[in-house]
A and B are shown apart, each in its own frame.
Chain A
Amino acid sequence: MMKNNTMRPIRICAAVLVVCILMFSAVGCAPTAERYEATRLDLFDTVTTLIAYTQSEEEFNALRQLVFEELVRLDALFDVYDGDPEGCGLAAVNAQAGVRAVEVDPDVLALVLWAKEAEALTQGVLDASAGRVCLLWQQAREAAKVDPDHAEVPSEAALQEALQHRGMDHVQVDTAACTVYLDDPNIWLDVGALAKGFTADRVMAKIKEAGFEHVMLNLGGNVITAGQRADGSAWQVGLRDPQRDGLLMAVPASDVSVVTSGGYERRMTVGDKTYHHIIDLSTGMPAERWAQVTVMAPCSAEADLLTTTLFILDEAEGRKLLAEFEDASACYVGLDGTIMKTEGWPR
């Protein structure tokens, strides 16, 4: 009975097709993840948005709790304006400048060490110890909000005096004792250009550790993503057009961080001139080379450092710095609206 031992071609074909159909129906039956969003306005002095695809609302609520609890904790530690001057955060370090070393939370120690590294990497362009200069501008902006008709930029003398007191060498770190000491009473730490990226990485590590796969976190323009959207398409990050209303472009961003710096946030107007908040420490004045610089990199702390620094540096210096970071790319918008993308920027 040879016939029974030979597989008939029609049966082979049928078997293959049945397997294919079963595979397709299995895909169709997979539980679908829902998209959820949550926003808070009370953290890092900016808008924080969490978007995620999860199987249920309970699952998203668990994620939300995890994310915002960590953000609240880190915000309190890193906030130099409203932080607790008696606590174990940066506000206490500033309050004890020139007095004594302050025992800090390990996350504060890690951020201060990153700030030291950032100063070295950017050759002083990003200097967290130059907080006095930022403080002068911050006070000028606050005064301008109250009385816009009498808005004034900080005086040249005050800026020059503030610029004298900086250098991360004045920030003494004792890793073993977990303390930070500012050895000059006029040094004032401001981590505005570093804290959000650093925080985004920390929080994202927790999110991944907890097993969440499709998450996007936006810390006021500091975006970090885990995986893609649930349907496998890339997260889309819209870049605002710095010249007019609307979007400049949408960038696909999966498992990556996107951070932008622009001269259109935290501004004050004196007469017919507008001053923004990104200060070039070589002059003490807002940087005015670019309209917007956006950086994409796997590490949010690096993207955050790069975007601010590239916004201050000229193109050649910026490209040189960018080349030192693996997998980082930038999109510049010039003051005349010209767009320039470096190698690696998604096309």
Chain B
Amino acid sequence: MNTGRYQLTVLDIFVVGFLGLAALAILVGILLWPQQQGTAVQVYVQGELVHVWSLDADGEYRIEGVGGTNTLTIAEGQARMTEADCKDAVCRGTGSISQAGEQIICLPHQVQVRVVSAEQQKVDVILP
């Protein structure tokens, strides 16, 4: 009698169907989730916030990292690392970032450049 194979019951079909729908809903949610255009980049060196530059202010910015410098270029609302005097070129290879949460990391110089949105930049109060 026992063939060693599972037989599908109505409940199994129901569960599989439910999971399939849930997966589809999550996928649609992810695809339709609005990406948020950033307004500024925060530059951290050794975890310490050292610069905040607006993504509207085009130009080349110098970052003094640990044991070397990086150059961040901001143009057309996007930021990318255009120069770094380190051996690996990972940060230059990251490309352009512009969406809130995107980041460029330069491990050798301990530099982190992170895009933030207006909402994230907001402080609740400013002390006089």
Contacts and interface: CB of A to CB of B under 8 A. Distances in A.
Interface of A: 2-3, 8, 10-11, 14, 17-18, 21, 49, 51, 216, 218, 220-221, 223, 229, 235-240, 247, 249-250, 258-260, 262, 264-265, 294, 347
A236 B124 contact: yes
B12 A236 contact: no
A98 B22 CA distance: 79
A247 B123 contact: yes
Contacts of B49: 249
Contact of A237 (B11, B16, B48, B127): B127
B2 A2 contact: yes
Contacts of A229: 124
Given A8-B6, A21-B22, A221-B128, A237 B123 contact: yes
A264 B22 CA distance: 58
Interface string B14-37: 011011001000000000000000
Interface in B73-128: 122-128
B47 interface: yes
Contacts of A260: 127-128
A14 to B, nearest CB: 4
Interface size class of B (residues with CB under 8 A): 10 to 19
29 contacts: A2-B2, A10-B15, A14-B12, A14-B19, A17-B22, A18-B18, A49-B125, A51-B124, A51-B125, A216-B124, A221-B128, A223-B127, A229-B124, A236-B123, A237-B123, A237-B124, A237-B125, A237-B127, A238-B125, A238-B126, A239-B126, A239-B127, A240-B127, A240-B128, A260-B127, A262-B128, A264-B128, A294-B127, A347-B47
Given A10-B12, A11-B15, A250 B125 contact: no
A51 B11 CA distance: 51
B15 A14 contact: yes
Contacts of A265: 128
A11 to B, nearest CB: 7
A296 to B, nearest CB: 11
Contacts of A238: 123, 125-127
Contacts of B19: 14, 17-18
A236 B12 CA distance: 50
Interface in B30-52: 47-49
B48 A247 contact: no
Interface of B: 2, 6, 11-12, 15-16, 18-19, 22, 47-49, 122-128
A249 B48 CA distance: 10
Nearest to A20: B22
A318 to B, nearest CB: 19
Given A14-B15, A18-B18, A223 B125 contact: yes
A56 B6 CA distance: 53
Contacts of B124: 51, 216, 229, 235-237
A236 B127 CA distance: 11
A63 B124 CA distance: 18
Contacts of A3: 2
Nearest to B12: A10
A260 B48 CA distance: 21
Nearest to A17: B19
Nearest to B6: A8
Nearest to A46: B128
Contacts of B15: 10-11, 14, 18
- The residue among B18, B127, B128 with the most chain A CB atoms within 10 A of its own CB is B127
A3 B5 CA distance: 10
Contact of A10 (B6, B18, B123, B128): B6
Contacts of A264: 128
Contacts of A8: 6
Contacts of A49: 125
Nearest to A223: B125
Given A51-B124, A258-B127, 19 more contacts: A10-B15, A11-B11, A14-B12, A14-B19, A17-B22, A18-B15, A18-B19, A216-B125, A218-B125, A218-B127, A223-B125, A236-B122, A236-B123, A237-B124, A237-B125, A238-B127, A247-B123, A249-B49, A294-B127
